[in-house]
Amino acid sequence: MATEVDPDGPQHDDAPVTTSKKFRSDRTLVAEAVTINRPSRELYDFWRDTANLAGFMENIASIEPIDEVRSRWTVKAPAGREVSWEAVITNEVPGEQITWQSAEGADVANSGRIEFRDAGARGTVVRAVIAYDPPAGLVGQLIAKLFQREPRIQTRRDLRRFKQLMETGEIATAARTKAQLEKDNG
């Protein structure tokens, strides 16, 4: 017989809180982890240089650094449109983690954390936790289209591309010609 889960009760196991069955579906919180066969400091440094991120994130049109902690993110939208917001790094522990939050007034209020945990001979476990509240109404629909697929899948793919880039020096593609590759990259 299944045990009734108390939505407000404490957690009794060691599983990540993001995998809890108690999560409410009206909140979007995704977490994905990938193990990358490189030292944590190298991965952290690459990620901390905001200009590098657009190279492996699928939906990002551009990320422009504004100052040490602020950057402007522009995301590709349907029909050639773009949506952008400002992200602020709110906490950073060199070699270990970076926490960010969207600045006030962003269309997609979002926040997140990227963690780099040393995994010995296997390299580094990189974990991304991203939270956002999809707004309702027309803007909400646009946002849904922006992210196209489940945010979890999007996050997972971005982490895989990050892994490919850091482990192999390139991002795998099955394209045969330059024209095909450009088309695939939109």
Partner 1 sequence: MRALTWHGKHDVRVDTVDDPEILNPRDAIIKITATAICGSDLHLYDGYIPTMQKGDILGHEFMGEVVETGSRSTLQRGQKVVVPFTIACGSCYHCGKHQYSACDNGNPAENQDIGRELYGQPMSGLFGYSHLTGGYAGGQAEYVRVPFSDVGPIVIPEHIEDEKVLFLSDILPTGWMAAENAEIEPGDTVAVWGCGPVGLFAVQSAFLLGASRVIAIDHFPRRLELAKRFGAETINFEESKTYEALMEMTGGIGPDAVIDAVGLEAHGFFVDNVIDQIKASTFMGTDRTHSIRQAIVACRKGGRVSMPAVYGGVVDKFPLGAFMEKGLTLKTGQTHVQHYMPALLNAIVEGKIDTTFLISHTLPLEQAPEGYKMFHDNQNEVTKVVLKPDLAVAAQ
Summarize as ranges the residues that interact with partner 1 (CB under 8 A). 35, 37, 58, 122-123, 153, 156-158, 160-161, 163-164, 167-179, 181
If we measure between CA atoms, which residue out of 91, 111, 93 comes closest to residue 101? 111
Cβ 125 to partner 1, closest distance in Å? 12
Cβ 67 to partner 1, closest distance in Å? 31
Residue 101 or 128 with smaller CB distance to partner 1: 128
Cβ 174 to partner 1, closest distance in Å? 4
Residue 48 or 156 with smaller CB distance to partner 1: 156
Question: What are the DSSP calls for 94-118, one per residue?
Answer: TTTEEEEEEPTT-SS-EEEEEEEEE
Residue 33 or 109 with smaller CB distance to partner 1: 33
Cβ 98 to partner 1, closest distance in Å? 21
Residue 105 or 186 with smaller CB distance to partner 1: 186
Q: What are phi and psi of 20, to 5 degrees?
A: -65, 140
Cβ 158 to partner 1, closest distance in Å? 8
Q: What are phi and psi of 17, to 5 degrees?
A: -60, -25
Residue 66 or 181 with smaller CB distance to partner 1: 181
Contact 116, 96 (CB under 8 A): yes
63: CB partners within 8 A, 6+ apart: 50, 51, 53, 54, 71, 72, 73, 74
Secondary structure class of 71 (helix, strand, coil): strand
